[in-house]
Chains A and B, each alone.
Chain A
């Protein structure tokens, strides 16, 4: 008699569990459909090979999870992305088709990448501005380093620097050496684009002479010289708030 009741209880539990699972599956399915509705599909050219270079063309060492905001307002999340500074293009790795894709630049407003080493999110914007004194294409991706009334951007170019020769199968091959080159520029509230040729006090004062006093005050008050990107961001932040 006792045995029977345990069996009954087990059976009831099993039925209950079955209903729960069905309910869960339906709920889950509905939520999945709803969440997928907002997704946008990325479009681009499939690349099977890239121009060989000595040195990495890529911003990050590996694919990184990121978001792409398209110019038409659609957002595509959870994509494996990287930035190729040599061709100034966003690369997308389609894991289900195992394809590397160059996303269509004209369609992209902004993309962001997760930098695993610093755990920072790097945001790049498709800029259509002319940077004085630099031969930069009319449309390029620039990293947003600071954005307030004043904005600070960095164009993370990978440029050729000489030729690298190597032997293979008794033949000599020549490929370009490549190295990173950053071009920093400011976007002022007046929409003027001001390049910063070097990261030092003099260059910044030359770029924005109207802020000379504030720059001097900031440097003397904090007792440090402007040597790197981080210092530059701190200074621009100060100038923007001041």
Chain B
């Protein structure tokens, strides 16, 4: 009985305590909501030296009105080896933001990855936004060869949505190009040794299957290869199956034949389920059959061509997402000539709700990728599966040993979790103070933050138990080098500041890309266009405005000094020691054992302060007067003294000596115990330049207009929630374009529409 009572009492106590803790956790969840991010770019294929324009959509279809959402977004571009090409930290006070960054002119042709995230996404282990892009170097003789590498592997794995997601059933397709299979089965192997399933490969080396990967496990696809057998060519009997990306809401299936087959079956299936089988006549050499995409579920569809005896002739894949939906946008004409006005018409009756934000891109069809570039709708569909993260293939060309590895690589692997804090108010500069020798964290160390300025500015943070410190960066630090220093470095002589690297390496293995059939011609045309643009100096690349007007919240340390000395009002002196001796009676700088020390008189007590004053040079804290002792009267503009005991928070100062110099002073700040960080969350705020040909004179101007992205409008002007009066002008480049409109409706739902634009 006694035991029972004890157990019940314990249970009640624990229950009550748990309740309290649960409430605490609930409070934390307000700070760290589960977030998602989608990035709409102006196109998918760029040339080195191009500017990537982007629009960010945070928390698509999520009601986080009661939570503190992230105000800072991170976007970085990576090479497959994980090296970062460029990164951008964007201050985003709203759910929508836009910007751009420049691709280096020296970037090699290849497949790169754009990754976007917020700190909340890292903390909650939410999927990061990833998107593959192709960059072509205009001096590359044969870029298609490099790009082709990504689509001509012996084994290709196509994953629904571009990457595996653990915890749910994923659809995959495998294409095996080397026809030396021994058996018709391949295997999925878990953690190198355990075969978890097998799947059948047809006589074309193709298979579709599905399986549910688990978190943090490695998977490989193994294909047995003994006694090679011959697999018939895909173009058997000269029947060619070509799946074209959907136009509007239809899948266009092209069947070409030159032989006697006059009747075939077209079968559309999802995994093992046959969704549609049509018997069609081949009346011409090229036959087109259209199927409505909305008749099929989203996922990886297999489109098979069978002969009259139902033997497989050819097979292709199509990812049926919801890349495009009609939101009632149309052009005012079917075709346009060069430098002609294009007006977009919106049919409001289609909308249930108005738009909250929308972005528009008009670019060449060839500069867009196929199913690897999902729209906001299909991306959102995948991200709805909360608490999951993507898994993707990581080992380059691992199929050389007949395996195709699939290991997690979409999250940063070496994050120091404890140092990531939600950025609900703005960008956070964080780091750790550690002992250089033992590498152990140092708690209660004082880290100063200051930046070069004509006023002394200072903030400080005391390190926590794990040695970490945090600063909320305000717009005052924009476009400036900020310096972190350890206060009282004599006691912390063996300490070191480590700043948290916000952009970690993120290696990846490129997924197969589906490129436009005309890509090689497009590349050659664009190479010429780039050359012409460079010759004429009309590359339509806007320059960034570095003189941004920002609202300053200056963390001024003091406003009025006790004394101010302007050295030019006196005769010239050789060094700081002489200046102090001759013109600053309250300051004494003496040399002892080869080192200078400064002492200041306390104007309240008339005696010397027991310790040295804190020293600032051009607003930045300096730990040692010896670094600047050589400054002469000519180098110095003014010297401020605070000659009484003062306190900033909990840090007491025995006098403040502040020197403002005429000379660049970076060199003094690079000493030990200091780290500098360049802070800029306003980078890339440039407008896309597109000419307006509203009169004949402008149309007839001699300068070529060779824009291949006709326009990029990151924020469509909305009146009562609907876009109005959207117009732009075509360039001199004829071809097929796509108008892509993406955005979020007022009810939070994403939308996307892609419509063709032909310039003849």
Contact = CB atoms under 8 A, between A and B. Distances in A.
Do A and B pair up? The answer is yes
Contact of A104 (B3, B421, B559): B559
A41 B459 contact: yes
Nearest to B422: A34
A233 B720 CA distance: 45
Nearest to B123: A30
Interface of A: 2-3, 6, 9-10, 13, 16-17, 20-21, 23-24, 27-31, 33-34, 36-38, 40-46, 48, 72-74, 94, 96-97, 99, 101, 104, 106-107
B553 interface: yes
A74 B553 contact: yes
Contacts of B10: 10, 13
Contacts, number: 107
Main secondary structure of the interface of A (DSSP, over half): helix
B604 interface: yes
B585 interface: no
Interface stretch (B74-82, B574-582, B639-647): B639-647
A43 B472 contact: no
Given A34-B31, A97-B652, A99-B647, A43 B557 contact: yes
A38 B425 contact: yes
Interface residues of B, number: 45
Given A34-B422, A34-B424, A43-B647, A73 B553 contact: yes
Given A10-B10, A24-B25, A45-B645, A38 B472 contact: yes
A27 B24 contact: yes
A10 B647 CA distance: 51
Contacts of B648: 41-43
B24 A28 contact: yes
A23 B560 contact: no
Interface in B556-587: 556-560
A9 B24 CA distance: 25
Contacts of A40: 555
B31 A31 contact: yes
A17 B17 contact: yes
Given A20-B17, A46-B647, A101-B647, 5 more contacts: A30-B421, A37-B428, A44-B647, A72-B556, A104-B559
Interface string B663-688: 00000000000000000000000000
A29 B649 CA distance: 21
B14 A13 contact: yes
Contacts of B20: 24
A45 B425 contact: no
A33 B421 contact: yes
Given A20-B17, A38-B472, A106-B559, A31 B27 contact: yes
Going nearest first, the 5 A-B pairs with the smallest beta carbon separation are: A41-B649, A106-B559, A27-B28, A46-B645, A37-B472
A36 B11 CA distance: 35
A145 B558 CA distance: 30
B460 interface: yes
B757 to A, nearest CB: 48
B522 to A, nearest CB: 49
Interface in B197-227: none
Given A45-B644, A45-B646, A104-B559, A24 B421 contact: no
B650 A96 contact: yes
Nearest to B428: A37
B608 interface: no
Contacts of A94: 647, 650
A152 to B, nearest CB: 28
Given A23-B25, A45-B644, A106 B425 contact: no
A73 B555 CA distance: 9
A169 B566 CA distance: 48
Contacts of B11: 13
A97 B17 contact: no
Contact of A46 (B7, B459, B470, B646): B646
Contacts of A3: 3
A43 B470 contact: no
B279 interface: no
B470 A33 contact: yes
Contact of B460 (A31, A41, A46): A41
B18 interface: yes
Interface in B436-475: 459-460, 464, 470-472
10 contacts: A31-B27, A31-B31, A46-B645, A46-B647, A72-B552, A72-B554, A97-B650, A97-B652, A104-B558, A104-B559
B21 interface: yes
A63 to B, nearest CB: 16
Identify the interface centre among A2, A48, A72: most chain B CB within 10 Å of its CB. A72
A94 B649 CA distance: 8
